[in-house]
Amino acid sequence: GENVEQHPSTLSVQEGDSAVIKCTYSDSASNYFPWYKQELGKRPQLIIDIRSNVGEKKDQRIAVTLNKTAKHFSLHITETQPEDSAVYFCGQTMELSFGAGTTVTVRA
Amino acid sequence: NAGVTQTPKFQVLKTGQSMTLQCAQDMNHNSMYWYRQDPGMGLRLIYYSASEGTTDKGEVPNGYNVSRLNKREFSLRLESAAPSQTSVYFCASSEREGSYGYTFGSGTRLTVV
């Protein structure tokens, strides 16, 4: 079953705009929150992760924020580019499960 | 450094045939996993091995068996393939189970006719 809910399922943004994807989890013992990117026909790849002892982590144009009280974490992509078009998954490592995925399309 | 290597990349089986998907990692990871990915269903865990010598069922284990041959290798076997097992299969590994990121293999696209 899905132990982490991911929204939205699809997201279309104009190039240069920001994209935000949110995941809500149920297990309060969760302490590690990864995000994966999967391009069409390729394998998922880890792009950023965060541990429960921090609230935000950035890596160039991507960032992840964590709200442990509300049990949700979000992926933020700024200044989107065509190469950001992909499916993004959040991970729920306590249950070894993933969100259902968000298909991001960046319009030129 | 190859990471996680899966074979074969593509396979077509007839209903009732058997086959084994191979997976090997060269990162000295302790934990290995098998997932299947279907359109609109995301990634679903079939079996995993938290460490050498242990295996456990995931969300969708029926119709599959696994073997953790050694620390590097984790194979997935379909004893009697069914059309419902048509999917893309990904092997993954991580340093340990739980709080570590995965490295995925390139996937096996399996069609059962």
CA distance B63 to B96: 26
Q: What angle do CA B31, B37, B41 make, to 5 degrees?
A: 120
For residue B96, pLDDT beyond 90:
no
Average pLDDT over residues A16-31: 93
Identify the band that residue A1 occupies on the pLDDT scale cut at 50, 70 and 90.
very low
For residue A95, pLDDT beyond 80:
no
Q: Which residue has the higher pLDDT, A93 or A76?
A: A76
For residue A30, pLDDT beyond 90:
no
Q: Does A51 sit within 8 Å of B43, measured CB to CB?
A: no
Using an 8 Å CB-CB cutoff, list chain A residues near B106. Answer: 42-43
pLDDT for position A2 = 52
**Which of B9, B23, B25, B43 would best serve as a mutation to test chain A binding (most A beta carbons within 10 A)?**
B43
- In chain A, residues 4-33 whose CB comes closer than 8 Å to chain B: 31-32
The average confidence (pLDDT) of chain B is: 95
Using an 8 Å CB-CB cutoff, list chain A residues near B43. Answer: 44, 89, 97-98
The average confidence (pLDDT) of chain A is: 93
**Range name among A11-25, B16-30, B88-102 with the lowest pLDDT average:** B88-102
Q: What angle do CA B29, B34, B35 make, to 5 degrees?
A: 130
Tens of pLDDT along A47-87?
Answer: 999 998 889 999 999 999 999 999 999 999 999 999 999 99
**Which of A94, A96, A98 would best serve as a mutation to test chain B binding (most B beta carbons within 10 A)?**
A96
Q: Which residue has the higher pLDDT, A4 or B73?
A: B73
Q: Does B99 sit within 8 Å of A31, measured CB to CB?
A: yes
Q: Does B102 sit within 8 Å of A98, measured CB to CB?
A: no
Q: What angle do CA B73, B76, B82 make, to 5 degrees?
A: 165
> Looking at chain A, which residue has its C-alpha nearest residue B5?
A43
For residue B86, pLDDT beyond 70:
yes
Q: Does A46 sit within 8 Å of B103, measured CB to CB?
A: yes
pLDDT for position A99 = 93
Closest CA of chain A from B14, distance in Å: 24
Using an 8 Å CB-CB cutoff, list chain B residues near A89. Answer: 42-43
CA distance B44 to B78: 16
Average pLDDT over residues A6-16: 97
Average pLDDT over residues B99-108: 93
Average pLDDT over residues A89-101: 88
Identify the band that residue A106 occupies on the pLDDT scale cut at 50, 70 and 90.
very high
User: Residues of chain A with pLDDT > 70: what percent?
Assistant: 98
Q: Which residue has the higher pLDDT, A48 or B41?
A: A48
**Phi, then psi, of B83 in degrees rounded to 5:** -55, -30
Which residue of B40, B99, B105 is in closest CB contact with A93?
B99
pLDDT for position A96 = 87
